[in-house]
Amino acid sequence: MSNSIRELTRLYLNRVSSPILFTIIITTVFALSTSIAALVAVQVHSTEISDRLYLDTKSTADSYLGIYKLAGPEAVISEIKRQAQFANDNTTLASFWFSKTKTATGTLLVHAPFDGRSSLSGGKEISSVTDVGDESDGRYYGFGIKVDDGWILVAKDSRWVSDSQELLTESILWGLGIAMTIVTIVAFSIAKLSQLRVHSINTVLNKAANGQLNVRCEISPHERDELATVSRGINQTLEQLETSIQSLQQVSSDIAHDLRRPLTRLRLKLEGLSHEHDTKLKNLDSAIEDVDRLSATFDSVLELAQIESGIEEIESKPVELGELCRETLELFEPIAEESGHYLPPITSQNFVTVAGDSNLLRQAIINLVDNAMRYTPAGSEIRISYGFLKSQPYLQVSDNGPGIDANELELVVRRFYRADKSRNIEGTGLGLSLIKAIAARHNAELKLADNKPGLQVTLIFK
């Protein structure tokens, strides 16, 4: 039987929507906890009111005790009768119990006297009260004081306690009902809103799984809850994924476009070897050069893809930029003498370190110097420098060559992009793209600016 009930309950809960189930759980927990708190409050309140009524009864008995000490029991009886004339609703009863005659005189007629607190019932312990009425439960809070001639007995009706408990209970029930209504509405609204947000996130994920990588989760700038954090994480992931896919598509398209001409030339030259025996050695050398250029392009593309993918963790260690710049200067000095370029000595003595991969940073500065020598005429000055820029470490390669037009500064970092001034110069078109990828892996900014004249390329480390 219990298993059947459990199974039916499970099937019912599975069919109930999440907002309704959440509302039921929250409302039930709230009702149970509030009911327990209300029961405790009523009990505490009842005990407190009872104690106060006992104290009030004792105070009345003490006043009769004062009269007794001044004028004896007859004066007490007279005061009790006088009080009874003004209040005949049986809310307050009093009597004097004579120990000799074992009888009580007054409005509180009991079968036996008592000392201190005593709980009495009208019609049972109190014979003088036969009809308690509709407004009283017949319970009285009594207090007795032993004196020489007998006892001073006082009792007060409990209707004040009953009325207070009833009023408190009614207030709690009304408050609980209103609170449960508010909690139900708020809980359902929160659950429904969360369900809609989860549904929106699920819709975005389904669209992304179907190839729509441009979709994003809608997030308000003021939202700071867990779902907003998850949504931001999903958006960042989709942005990176979309960028990676676009880069892959661009690389595929660029490779197909940029390598078509060298392959065509290679095929024609190789065909020429079979027809022109007298020039076959010259054509063969040219074909080998084309093959070398293809290999260099493929190597650069592969290296760029590996750096951008982030699959391989970089070896992050302190790298001293001054030492790196001086090593590069020493490496290129003989090449510069042969090409007619001028590399001035590095004058800075600053000790500047950054956290990163020394091999990748060395490759970045080598590529910068190589690009400067490749795209500037003989006699140009190529300067390597490093230091701090607004407290941020930087390294820089600048030249006084022809430079790059302002409208192309942001374009030259794209893969295979060639500025108009450099279309006839041999190169893969991936140098600055590779440097940008290395900068990104080191959380650095690659900045290109006009050197007036020439080009200024700066890596700023954050």
Domain boundaries, the chain: 13-206, 213-257, 259-312, 314-461
Please say whether the beta carbons of 371 and 402 come within 8 A. no
Per DSSP, the chain holds a count of helices (H) and strands (E) of 10, 11
Amino acid code (one letter) for 250 = Q
| pLDDT value of residue 11 | 47
DSSP reduced 3-state for 118: strand
Separation between Cα atoms, residue 196 and residue 77, nearest integer Å: 79
For the CA atoms of the chain, what is the radius of gyration? Answer: 49
Q: Among all chains, which residue has been given the structure tokens 């669209």?
A: 207
Beta bridge partners of 152: 96, 145
- The dihedrals phi and psi of 367, each to the nearest 5 degrees, come to -65, -40
Q: Among all chains, which residue has been given the structure tokens 């990828």?
A: 437
Domain 314-461, CATH: 3.30.565.10
Separation between Cα atoms, residue 128 and residue 132, nearest integer Å: 11
Please say whether the beta carbons of 442 and 462 come within 8 A. no
| pTM above threshold 0.75 | no
| pLDDT value of residue 256 | 54
Q: Which of 453, 333, 437, 445 is nearest to 398 (CA)?
A: 453
| pLDDT value of residue 297 | 58
| pLDDT value of residue 363 | 82
Q: With DSSP H G I counted as helix, E B as strand and the rest as coil, what are the percentages for the chain, rounded to 5?
A: 60, 15, 25
Separation between Cα atoms, residue 211 and residue 29, nearest integer Å: 44
Q: Among all chains, which residue has been given the structure tokens 């039930």?
A: 28
Query: Could you tell me the two tokens for 145?
Result: 């004081």
Please say whether the beta carbons of 442 and 360 come within 8 A. yes
Cα angle 386, 390, 392; round to 5? 55
| pLDDT value of residue 276 | 56
Please say whether the beta carbons of 128 and 111 come within 8 A. no
Please say whether the beta carbons of 91 and 107 come within 8 A. no
Cα angle 440, 368, 262; round to 5? 95
Non-local CB neighbours of 376 within 8 Å, separated by 6+ positions: 341, 382, 399, 400, 401, 402, 454
Residues 382/384/387/389 CA torsion (nearest 10 deg): 40
Q: What are the 10-residue block averages of pLDDT along the chain, 462 residues in total?
A: 52 54 78 82 81 88 90 89 78 88 86 88 75 66 91 85 77 82 82 80 81 78 78 84 71 59 64 56 60 58 56 73 89 88 85 85 85 85 88 89 76 59 51 78 84 87 86
Query: Could you tell me the two tokens for 101?
Result: 């005659």
Please say whether the beta carbons of 142 and 119 come within 8 A. yes
Separation between Cα atoms, residue 164 and residue 228, nearest integer Å: 49
User: Cβ-count burial of 432 within 10 angstroms (0-12 exposed, 13-18 middle, 19+ buried)?
Assistant: buried
Query: Could you tell me the two tokens for 76?
Result: 């007490």
Please say whether the beta carbons of 399 and 455 come within 8 A. yes
| pLDDT value of residue 146 | 92
| pLDDT value of residue 12 | 43
CA 185 to each of CA 23, 138, 189, 305, 307: distance values in angstroms, whole numbers, following the listed order: 8, 44, 6, 54, 53
| pLDDT value of residue 43 | 82
For residue 259, the 8-state DSSP code is T
Amino acid code (one letter) for 373 = M
Query: Could you tell me the two tokens for 137?
Result: 């439960």
Query: Could you tell me the two tokens for 377?
Result: 């005429």
